[in-house]
Chain A
């Protein structure tokens, strides 16, 4: 079946540091890939997405590239801010199926001033 594996957190960084949160997936065919962000006490917000191989999703300084050869969708940001502190979820949705998403376990990011 489908699965998503994220690096375990928490990831602790100083402000303006470079961020990478690894995400790898297992799925047949060509799933769509997503990153969601959850701020404390809130629901999940779509951060970015990519629907085919080599697509790059980007939003608010965050980027992730759909790498089919390595089945990865790593999240990166060049310079994090304290306000980026949140939990980040990687997810996939298999095309042509029931559209039930598969989520990673989430990675907590803590950014210190």
Chain B
């Protein structure tokens, strides 16, 4: 199957700083990628749809100024958590779907963010 990779897998940052998480499609091009947040023992919460070359589409209740998404190329989307606070600590996951695979969604490994 297709490969989606995230980096870093774990990051610790101080309150008030910003942190960037990368999501790459390694063997296919992705015009659309999705960013999710997962709280412990809960399902995935869709945060936004990242569109290559255009603005991201955010889900209701997600602060677009806090969670900046950039999809500058067909293989890379980034999520920047700005002015991070401890309540932003979470597991962030991205996904993408290769064309021609019947809408199959492939996920990155996830990124653990801890804000101290």
A42 touches B110 (CB 8 A): yes
Q: Kindly specify which of B12-20, B42-50, B63-71, B81-89 makes contact with the partner chain.
A: B42-50
B44 touches A103 (CB 8 A): yes
CB distance from A110 to the nearest CB of B (A): 13
Q: Is B107 in contact with A34, judged by CB distance below 8 angstroms? A: no
Cβ of A61 under 8 Å from chain B: no
For B49, the chain A residues whose CB sits under 8 A away are 98, 100
Q: Among the listed A32, A43, A93, A104, which residue makes an inter-chain contact with B43, where contact means beta carbons less than 8 Å apart?
A: A104
Is A51 within 8 A of B1, CB to CB? Answer: no
A-side residues, CB < 8 A to B, are: 32, 34, 36, 41-46, 49, 51, 89, 91, 93, 95, 98-101, 103-106, 108
Interface residues, chain B, with chain A CB atoms under 8 Å away: 1, 6, 32, 34, 41-44, 46, 49, 93, 95, 97, 102-110, 112
Closest CB pairs A-B (n = 3): A43-B110, A93-B103, A44-B107
